[in-house]
Structure 1
Amino acid sequence: MLQFFRKNDPYLLLFIAAFLIITRVILLIIGLEESTILNSSYLLGTAFNENPGTVISNSISAGPLYTFFSGLLVLLFNSSVVASVIVSAILVFIQAVIFNTTLQRNAAFEDNTYLPGILYAIILSSSKEFLYLSPALMANTFLLLATDKILIHLKFRGSEENILTTGFLLGLGALCYAPYSIFLIFTILIYVVYSGTLVRRYFLMTYGFIFSFLIFWIYYLCFQQGAAFIGNYFSGLFRINVVDGTVLNNILLIFGLPLFLTVLSGAQSFQGAGLTNHQILIQRMMLWMLIFALVILRLDNQMTLLTVQTLAIPLTFFSSQFLLTRAKRWVADLVFLFLATSSITFLFTL
């Protein structure tokens, strides 16, 4: 079965799109219950439309860019469940394409395959909560774009424009989902450890990050809310949340197999045998991303299933690596089938 997905065939993108559409249409026909994220997004959007110059506090760690987009959705579609599900599906598809293209461009695996994109779509279809637009999902788009820029820099020692754009993209991600501010530290760490980046370029990247915030600060400053914007954003940024046992159990249930595959893949491949230097760098970068994603679990205002959407990126990478490096292809086929079946089962049952 995986031989089909190993092909570098653009038509496999249609498979990803069809999978996302079919699962969501079925659930819409069956009927989706009102969710916390949908209600919270509606309240955010409504509050923004009623008072566009007022800084809005929220419990889902949503940044001002997500609040603005929620306001746009409420303005156009009111509290439509369908709109949130459609936008979410489009974002997952776009992210799967960006991630897969980035890995192909950097020759992350020996096989030039669309498997990572397919796995990304499957992993982010493992729960009904993932079907709705959320701050973390929206922020993942900018994180994946920044990841592409980071890998370009690691491979080619990218230009200053690349560095500035990376910081700006990280800032946009943080403006969607506040805990993503920590990925500025992640990027600086990657550059310090794995590249000979000039010191002034760290300041340039930080400037790009801050510049994205300046846009919103100036907007709120026009309404005399500049100080309130800065204070509201950073006041709860590093507040450690309380762990909910039920949520933690659901996280382990849904992400248990990808986490297990990640551990196996890491244990077998981090020796670097048969890998190029750039492939080893990609592995180490994804490991650091996994560590920072785990830290984010405790930085969100409240830990929910939506908080772990950040994990989808490194888990997809290592799960793909595990499947693509199996000498016995029937083993990879069985694991893939089990992963896909369990994800769809969780989607319709949890």
Structure 2
Amino acid sequence: MIIRLFKTNQVTGLVFLLIFQVLIYLNAFLHRLILIDRPIHSALFEQIPWLPITYPWLSALISFIFVLLQALWFNYFIYSVNILGRLTYLPAFFYILIATVFPENLYLSPGLLANFFLLAGMMGLWQIAHAKQLPRPVFFTAIAFSLASLIYSPVLILLPWFFLALFTFARSQFRIVLVGLIGWFLPYFYTSIAYLFFTDISVFFHDFFIAPFGLPDYRLNLGIIEYMICVWLFGLFIASFYHYLHTTHFYKVVQKRSLRIWGMMLLLLVISAAFYNYLQLSHILLLSFPLATFFSTYFLHIKKYWVADLLTIFIISCLFVLQFSYF
């Protein structure tokens, strides 16, 4: 009977979907499930006082809207790929039914926010399975799963399954797997650069890699951020040589697409650095290196790859000089 209600028409199905979700949230409030304080497994939001503690009604309202949007997005995806035939809101009904089984989805939480990127990653995997040119969908799908794991740490358990899917869909092409690795690494890389504004790199290493997994508490006083940038730029340099040896768009996808997405964010960070007196010159320089590589991608339009390569070599050399310089 319930399934028939959701298969009648668009308006009736949406009305019953809203009524069903309202009843679930009212039941959660009656049993005070939303007011229970639970641990937050998130690298980004570990220190943020979440709304369930201070404003539970507002948190539940935001959660209600987010779950509904995710259900409608999932419903659109199922309908667009024609997995279950022509349905109305039946996939959305099952999404809400399953999502609200977990109390963490009944209030604003990192897991609920990560679900948006998991849905985007799921759609990306479907595109990978049917795409003729794989680098671009693989790259953006890896970014989606990486952002989900950055927001909600337990999503990292999907990392081996993601690359298993890549080996299945991409016919074990090393180039595709490398694009996926770079896409997964990018959000962590640029988040670490942004994190440099607010704390020291040893605190970043502890908060992002030690505390979420319960590892022994120790601090490293190394310039990890510099080495991460060096490895990333060196990878771009190697990728450019790969472009010379193969008639593919691998270098263009990896360098141009990735750095164009995050380049504007880094530009804002560098501009904002001018308003903070406590920042050292080395901080601003470190932020300018990815920007320099980002601007070098515009040489791709006139096919002067050697200019971007020379600039990359210059940046890598400056990084090694920074290791022994005092500001």
| CA offsets 1:280-323 (integer angstroms, 9 cap, x no match) | xxxxxxxxxxxxxxxxxxxxxxxxxxxxxxxxxxxxxxxxxxxx
Q: Contact between 1:61 and 1:179, CA under 8 Å: does it hold in 2?
A: yes
Q: Pick from 10, 29, 43: which aligns with 1:63?
A: 43
Q: Which amino acid aligns with 1:61?
A: H
Q: Pick from 214, 220, 235: which aligns with 2:195?
A: 220
Q: Contact between 1:171 and 1:212, CA under 8 Å: does it hold in 2?
A: yes
Q: Which amino acid aligns with 1:154?
A: A
Structure 1 pair 31/235, CA: closer, same or farther in 2 (3 Å)? Answer: closer
Offset at residue 3 of structure 1 (A): 3.0
> Residue 36 of structure 1 aligns to a residue in which SS?
coil
1:231 maps to 206
* Matched-pair identity in %: 24
Q: Which has the larger radius of gyration?
A: 2
Offset at residue 180 of structure 1 (A): 0.9
Name the CA distance, whole Å, in 1 between partners of 2:79 and 2:68.
16
2:37 maps to 36
Q: Pick from 171, 190, 193: which aligns with 1:196?
A: 171
Name the CA distance, whole Å, in 2 between partners of 1:31 and 1:143.
28
- Is residue 97 of structure 2 the alignment partner of residue 122 of structure 1? yes
- Is residue 49 of structure 2 the alignment partner of residue 87 of structure 1? no
Q: CA RMSD in A?
A: 3.0
Structure 1 pair 5/158, CA: closer, same or farther in 2 (3 Å)? Answer: farther
Offset at residue 146 of structure 1 (A): 0.6
Q: Contact between 1:96 and 1:118, CA under 8 Å: does it hold in 2?
A: yes
1:256 maps to none
Offset at residue 196 of structure 1 (A): 2.6
Name the CA distance, whole Å, in 1 between partners of 2:151 and 2:158.
13
Structure 1 pair 102/82, CA: closer, same or farther in 2 (3 Å)? Answer: same
Offset at residue 114 of structure 1 (A): 2.4
Gaps of 5+ in 1: 38-58, 241-350
Within 5 Å, which residues of 2 pair with 1:1-350? Answer: 1=1, 2-6=3-7, 9=10, 12-25=13-26, 28=29, 34-37=35-38, 59-64=39-44, 66-67=45-46, 70=48, 79-126=54-101, 130-196=105-171, 198-236=173-211
Q: Which amino acid aligns with 1:63?
A: A
Q: Which amino acid aligns with 1:163?
A: V
Q: Contact between 2:5 and 2:16, CA under 8 Å: does it hold in 1?
A: no
Q: Which amino acid aligns with 2:198?
A: F
Name the CA distance, whole Å, in 1 between partners of 2:94 and 2:128.
26
Gaps of 5+ in 2: 216-327
Structure 1 pair 78/31, CA: closer, same or farther in 2 (3 Å)? Answer: closer
Q: Contact between 1:178 and 1:233, CA under 8 Å: does it hold in 2?
A: no
> Residue 108 of structure 1 aligns to a residue in which SS?
coil
Name the CA distance, whole Å, in 2 between partners of 1:215 and 1:208.
12
Structure 1 pair 96/217, CA: closer, same or farther in 2 (3 Å)? Answer: same
Name the CA distance, whole Å, in 2 between partners of 1:165 and 1:104.
22
TM normalised by structure 2 equals 0.56
Query: Aligned residue pairs: how many?
Result: 214
2:267 maps to none
| CA offsets 1:236-269 (integer angstroms, 9 cap, x no match) | 55569xxxxxxxxxxxxxxxxxxxxxxxxxxxxx
Name the CA distance, whole Å, in 1 between partners of 2:117 and 2:195.
23
> Residue 17 of structure 1 aligns to a residue in which SS?
helix
Q: Contact between 1:164 and 1:205, CA under 8 Å: does it hold in 2?
A: yes
Name the CA distance, whole Å, in 2 between partners of 1:99 and 1:134.
19
Name the CA distance, whole Å, in 1 between partners of 2:89 and 2:69.
13
Tell me: higher relative CO, structure 1 or 2? Use CA pairs within 8 A at least 6 residues apart: 1
